[in-house]
Every structure is written in structure tokens, then in C-alpha cells.
Amino acid sequence: MNRWIFHVLSLLGVVLTYVSYQSLPAKVAIHFGVAGRADRWASKGEWLAVGLILFGGIWLMFVGITSMMRKIPDELVSVPNKEYWLAPENKERFLKLFSNSMYWFGWITQALFLGVGVVVYYGATANSINQPAMYSLLLGYVVATVLFVVGLFKQFRVEESAGKSA
């Protein structure tokens, strides 16, 4: 499920970037200072290029990481309880858990940039940004990142009895 959410949000990011490009003026605000006022301007073509590279790059990174995991030598893998998870009888489960976790974090990342894109789009047309919305997005991402890291450690912990039998 996380994999499909990730792919849908990635595609949505590309589509929204293109659709927003259609309605932007030739010159748009793309960066905002501490006070929330526009302080960097760019062409709408730059808006399109950055959006497509961003959403496409994030998609490529997460798909690449999860796809390459099967090919990475075990000695290069760092995971809690490595001996247990990389043992032949557990490796397939590890790869599925890892892939699911990465796609979860990937869709959280794409959701962040979708939200930032919407806030910046409206800011670009108004020449000032909705700072509470931007800070809320960033805080939400920080919380999600902490939950992701804690979840990884919980997910890859091994009960005493399971660790001794491996």
C-alpha cells in the first residue's frame, strides 16, 4: 500500500507542477524571507524545471534504494540486529519490511513537497507566503521523520528468544 501511495503522490506532484505552470505569470516569486515577503524571483519555466526535477528525483531515489537493496552486499548493509535480519531465513522478510518502510518515508517526503508546492504557488501569486502553513508542514515532517526512525528501530528489534535461536 505504501508503495502505491508513493507512486500516486509522485505522479500528482508532476501533474500539479505542470498544471500550476500553466496558470502562473511569466515571473514568479519562488523564495520568501523571514517576514514572509518574496525575495527571489524566477521564470515560470524555472518553476516547472525545479518541480519536475524535485518530484522525479525523489521518485527515482526511493525506487532506486528499494530496488538496489537486493543487490547490495550484506557487509554494506547497516540494520539493527544485522546477523538476524540478513540470515538467509529472514532476509526476504527484511527486504519487504525495508521496502515498505522506505516507501512510507517516500510518500511522506512527496506529501511534504506537494504541500510546500501549494503554499509556494499561492505565495508566488500573492507575493507573500502563508508562514503558519509552511511551519506546520515542516513540523509535521520532522515529527514524521522521528516516528520513522523510532519505527525502524522497533520494527527491526529482535526478541531475546528469537535472537538466540538465529
The pTM (predicted TM-score) of the whole model is 0.86
Element (H, E) at 134: helix 131-155
Predicted confidence pLDDT, tens digits, the chain (166 residues): 899 999 999 999 999 999 999 999 899 888 888 888 888 889 999 999 999 999 999 999 999 999 999 999 999 999 989 999 999 999 999 999 999 999 999 999 999 999 999 998 888 878 788 889 999 999 999 999 999 999 999 999 886 545 555 4
How distant, in Å, are the alpha carbons of 77, 91, 118 from that of 64? 15, 19, 27
> Is the distance from CB of 124 to CB of 51 less than 8 angstroms?
no
